[in-house]
């Protein structure tokens, strides 16, 4: 009996401890929620401090509670594009905001279309007569695309403006595949040779290089046109063409100043004093401060609320995958459920599909397209808005739109299908492993990873790929009102810039997400000037919110000088290419994914790659 009594007291103690722990978690979360949400009264007159630490993305990636608790989640910062645009446009009408302090010192970058949207928002702010004053220790392509829209561009005297233009190397896996002894069975449709080259060659084919050069030139032309319109007095062409000549005097910062690329040379303290001339400053404040409000606090005090009729916006961002997926990845089940539920609720007047994706699973792409078709069956206008990339599976989804908007710098097309089946007969032979067995049909045990595929499997796989390609081109021909023969000419896995895509009839018009929302409102017989979109986003669970609030790390501060930024970006490009390549190999056997689309380097991919490499070296 004494033992049972002790056991009972132990169980009661465990119960009390768990109850106490739950209470602490509850009140801690409540305190964090109340203390972390400012109100409009806390906004200080002066500057809006827009510190872009990280990347501007269409939809930030979210980490699961398990990743946050284990520390596996990346600490790379991501800023949602629509938040930046909405915050700047709101500040333009706010009398308390006198100036925007645009801090680009730790800016990582973003897609060209996304950055042009931010630049347009900065222009709207300036048109109200209020200045935008930018600062960075070094400007690279992405940060300068934003800084060009500022009233004053400040550069640290020890810094430089480093314009490299699009281009660089991408990983090719043929050598690694051969060394590992992996036999990659590739099934494809389309004559465009770069469609699957990373897995079949060790270098670019001349045809792929020529096509890639054409795409890069088109994107860089759009970049230069944007910068020249914002800073017509800058000697942009000569500065880019002769960077060594520009710094012949030895001072990178003075070269940028002399070329009109920047307006002022000064350190962070000098920049802060300039802003304080407009925003004001407390008498007892430090030299590098001024009156103002941090962007996150300003956004919390001015939450986005839809009104004037409900135009729903669903976002398809990242790789398109089967099943459920968190934000930043386009899960076929997740996105289709958002659309179907919104349509079933009869709560929408129109639907806008915002796409920023290189594609992925053919099945998931079709699942999302079919959900959009249900919206059309319910008589809802459906407008597609393309962001940085809307290619392959992303374009498959776009075919459902009544009207398709893109930008000149949008990357789209890549109408093609491929299949990949890795087998390991050569690898297993190297380590003395063989395979044998029985069969009842030609497909027994297929695809055989130990002995390779047989002729019947190869025939069926190729036939399946060709069938999906016929479906893809048929969709494009029917929805875009193009002859199938014409679609065959412009498909073949070829990637197009937005300008070319419009000429080819793959998109209807140039325009931002706002233009797409306005078009949807018009078709729904609503006043576009009074309509704000209703974003159809997956709502995180309370556990995800709690884990994010308590365990998410602050973004690491990257190096700020130009050469270090360039090296970090190249490292991220390599890691991103490797991550995407492995994702393709481990993904579904049949995919509608753009392999030759230039992707924005992800700091998360770089951090993960070097953490893995370091762990291997240490072990």
What one-character-per-residue DSSP string does 176-213 give?
HHHHHT-EEEEEEE-S-GGGSGGGT-SS--HHHHHHHH
Burial of 68 (0-12, 13-18, 19+ CB in 10 A): buried
Residue 365 contacts residue 397 (beta carbons within 8 Å): yes
Q: How many residues are there in the chain?
A: 619
Distances (CA, A) of 472 to 37, 376, 531, 592: 47, 19, 34, 9
Paired residues of 496 in beta bridges:
412
- Of 373, 291, 385, 378, nearest in space to 343 by CA: 378
Q: Which residues pair with 50 in a beta bridge?
A: 102
Can you give the pLDDT at residue 499? Answer: 95
- Judge if pTM exceeds 0.85: no
The proportion of the chain whose per-residue pLDDT surpasses 70, expressed as a percent, equals 78
Residue 601's Cβ-side half-sphere holds a number of Cα atoms within 13 Å equal to 25
The reported pLDDT for the residue numbered 616 is: 44
Strand partners, 404: 384
Nearest to 116 by CA among 87, 94, 155, 144: 144
Report the pLDDT value the prediction gives residue 315, as an integer from 0 to 100: 97
| Torsion sign, CA atoms 440, 444, 449, 451 | positive
Check residues 8 and 236 and name the one with the higher pLDDT: 236
Structure tokens at 602: 């992800």
Mean pLDDT of 46-57: 94
Q: Where residue 375 falls among pLDDT bands split at 50, 70, 90?
A: very high
pLDDT at 580 over 50: yes
> What is the tens place of the pLDDT at every residue in 105-159?
999 889 999 999 999 999 999 999 999 999 999 999 999 999 999 999 999 999 9
Mean pLDDT of 258-272: 96
Query: How far apart, in Å, do the first and last CA atoms of the chain sit?
Result: 52
pLDDT digits (tens, 9 = 90+) for 306-341: 877 899 999 999 999 999 998 889 999 999 999 999
Tokens standing for residue 497: 């810039």
Confidence (pLDDT) at 38: 46
Mean pLDDT of the chain: 85
The neighbour count for residue 573, using CB atoms within 10 Å, is 21
pLDDT digits (tens, 9 = 90+) for 145-181: 999 999 999 999 999 999 999 887 788 888 888 888 8
pLDDT tier for residue 566 given thresholds of 50, 70 and 90 = low
Q: Is 280 helix (H, G, I), strand (E, B) or coil?
A: coil
**Alpha-carbon distance 379 to 366, whole Å?**
20
Q: What percent of the chain has pLDDT over 90?
A: 55
* Mean pLDDT to the nearest integer, 203-229: 91
Nearest one of 191, 192, 225, 224 to 211, comparing CA atoms? 192
Separation between Cα atoms, residue 380 and residue 372, nearest integer Å = 10
* Tokens 């130009």 belong to residue: 562
Residues facing 80 on adjacent strands: 57
Q: Compute, in degrees rounded to 10, the torsion defined by CA atoms 328, 331, 332, 338.
A: -70
pLDDT of residue 187: 87
Q: Is 377 a catalytic residue?
A: no
98 pLDDT more than 50: yes
Q: Which two tokens stand for residue 441?
A: 């049909």
Q: Indicate the pLDDT class of residue 613, thresholds 50, 70 and 90.
A: very low
Secondary-structure percent of the chain, ordered helix, strand, coil, rounded to 5: 50, 20, 35
Contact 38, 91 (CB under 8 A): no
Q: Which two tokens stand for residue 574?
A: 């390599």
- The alpha carbon torsion through 321, 324, 329, 330 (nearest 10 deg) reads 60
- Between 325 and 384, where is the model more confident? 384
Cα separations in angstroms, 587 against 170, 320, 321, 581: 20, 10, 8, 10
Stronger pLDDT, 559 or 23, i.e. the higher one: 23
> Which is the catalytic residue, given 193, 310, 403, 604?
193
Q: Is the pLDDT of residue 394 over 90?
A: yes
Burial label, 439 (beta-carbon count in 10 A; 0-12, 13-18, 19+): exposed
pLDDT confidence band for 46 (50 / 70 / 90): very high
**Cα separation of 69 and 73, whole Å?**
8
Spatial distance between the Cα atoms of 232 and 132, rounded to a whole number of angstroms: 17
Residue with tokens 């049949």: 590
How far apart CA 38 and CA 52 sit, in angstroms, is: 20
- pLDDT tens readout for residues 468-518: 999 999 999 999 999 999 999 999 889 999 999 999 999 999 999 999 999
- Tracing tokens 């459902």 back to the chain, one arrives at 400
Higher pLDDT among residues 612 and 350, named by residue: 350
Maximal CA-CA distance, the chain = 93
Q: Catalytic pick from 276, 365, 392, 512?
A: 392
Count other Cβ atoms within 10 Å, centred on residue 463: 11
Q: What is the pLDDT of residue 448?
A: 86
Return the HEC string of 514-531: HHHHHHHHHHCCCCHHHC
More confident residue, 136 or 183: 136
Q: Tell which wins on pLDDT, 48 or 185.
A: 48
Q: At 594, phi and psi to the nearest 5?
A: -85, 110
Instruction: Examine the residue annotation and report whether 310 is marked as an active-site residue of this protein.
Output: no
Distance (Å, whole) CA 527 – CA 531: 7
Is-contact 566 167, C-beta < 8 A? no
Is 388 in contact with 411 (CB distance < 8 Å)? Answer: yes
Q: Report all structural domains of the chain as residue ranges with CATH numbers, in order of start.
A: 44-166+214-301 (3.90.226.10)
pLDDT at 37: 46
Q: How confident is the model at residue 36 (pLDDT cuts 50, 70, 90)?
A: very low
For residue 90, the model assigns a pLDDT of 96
What integer pLDDT is reported at residue 618 of this predicted model?
A: 44
Evaluate the CA torsion angle 17, 22, 26, 31 in order and state its sign.
positive
Look at residue 55 and tell me whether its pLDDT is greater than 70.
yes
Q: CA 285, CA 307: separation in Å to the nearest integer?
A: 41
238 pLDDT higher than 60: yes
Instruction: Tell me what pLDDT residue 422 has.
Output: 86
- Average pLDDT on 359-370 reads 96
> Which pLDDT belongs to residue 497?
94
Across the beta sheet with 264-265, the strand order is 264-265, 152-161, 132-139, 97-103, 46-51, 292-294
Give the pLDDT band of residue 603 (cuts 50, 70, 90): low
């Amino acid at each position: 009996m004494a033992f049972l009594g002790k056991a009972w007291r132990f169980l009661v103690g465990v119960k009390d401890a768990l109850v106490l722990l739950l209470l602490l978690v509850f009140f801690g979360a409540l305190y964090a929620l109340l203390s972390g949400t400012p109100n409009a009264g806390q906004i200080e007159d002066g500057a809006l401090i827009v510190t872009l630490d990280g990347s501007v993305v269409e939809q930030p990636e979210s980490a699961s509670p398990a990743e946050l608790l284990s520390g596996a989640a990346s600490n790379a910062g991501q800023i949602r594009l629509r938040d930046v645009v909405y915050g700047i446009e709101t500040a333009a009408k706010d009398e308390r905001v006198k100036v925007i302090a645009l801090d680009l010192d730790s800016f990582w970058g973003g897609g060209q279309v996304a950055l042009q949207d931010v630049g347009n928002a900065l222009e709207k702010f300036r048109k109200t007569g209020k200045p935008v004053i930018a600062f960075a220790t070094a400007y690279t392509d992405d940060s300068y695309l934003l800084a060009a829209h500022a009233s004053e561009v400040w550069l640290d005297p020890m810094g430089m403006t480093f314009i490299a233009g699009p281009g660089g190397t991408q990983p090719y896996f043929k050598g690694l595949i051969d060394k590992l002894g992996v036999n990659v069975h590739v099934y494809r449709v389309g004559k465009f040779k770069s469609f699957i080259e990373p897995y079949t060659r060790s270098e670019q084919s001349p045809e792929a290089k020529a096509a890639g050069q054409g795409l890069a030139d088109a994107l860089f032309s759009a970049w230069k046109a944007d910068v020249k319109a914002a800073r017509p007095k800058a000697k942009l062409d000569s500065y880019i063409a002769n960077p060594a000549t520009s710094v012949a005097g030895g001072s990178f910062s003075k070269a940028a100043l002399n070329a009109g690329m920047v307006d002022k040379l000064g350190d962070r303290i000098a920049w802060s004093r300039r802003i304080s001339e407009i925003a004001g400053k407390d008498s007892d404040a430090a030299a590098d401060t001024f009156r103002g409000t941090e962007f996150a606090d300003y956004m919390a005090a001015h939450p986005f609320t839809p009104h004037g009729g409900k135009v729903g916006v669903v976002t398809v961002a990242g790789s398109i995958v089967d099943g459920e997926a968190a934000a930043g990845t386009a899960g076929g089940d997740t996105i289709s459920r958002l659309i179907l539920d919104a349509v079933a609720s009869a709560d929408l007047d129109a639907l806008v599909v915002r796409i920023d994706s290189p594609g992925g699973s053919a099945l998931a792409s079709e699942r999302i397209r079919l959900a959009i078709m249900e919206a059309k069956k319910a008589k809802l206008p459906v407008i597609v808005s393309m962001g940085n990339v809307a290619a392959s599976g992303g374009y498959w989804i776009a075919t459902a739109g009544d009207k398709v908007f893109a930008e000149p710098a949008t990357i789209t097309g890549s109408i093609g299908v491929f299949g990949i089946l890795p087998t390991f007969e050569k690898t297993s032979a190297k380590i003395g492993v063989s395979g044998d067995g029985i069969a009842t049909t030609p497909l027994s045990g297929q695809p055989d990873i130990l002995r390779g595929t047989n002729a019947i499997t190869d025939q069926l796989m190729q036939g399946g790929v060709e069938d999906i390609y016929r479906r893809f081109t048929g969709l494009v021909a029917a929805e875009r009102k193009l002859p199938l023969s014409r679609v065959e000419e412009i498909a073949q896995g070829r990637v197009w810039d937005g300008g070319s895509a419009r000429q080819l009839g793959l998109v209807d018009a140039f325009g931002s997400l706002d233009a797409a929302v306005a078009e949807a409102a018009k078709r729904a017989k609503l006043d576009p000037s009074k309509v704000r979109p209703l974003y159809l986003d997956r709502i995180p669970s309370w556990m995800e919110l709690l884990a994010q609030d308590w365990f998410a790390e602050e973004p690491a501060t990257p190096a700020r000088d130009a050469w270090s930024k360039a090296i970090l970006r190249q490292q991220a490009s390599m890691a991103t290419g490797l991550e995407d390549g492995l994702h393709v190999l481990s993904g579904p056997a049949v995919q509608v994914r753009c392999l030759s689309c230039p992707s924005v380097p992800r700091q998360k991919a770089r951090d993960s790659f070097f953490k893995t490499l370091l762990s291997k070296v240490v072990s």
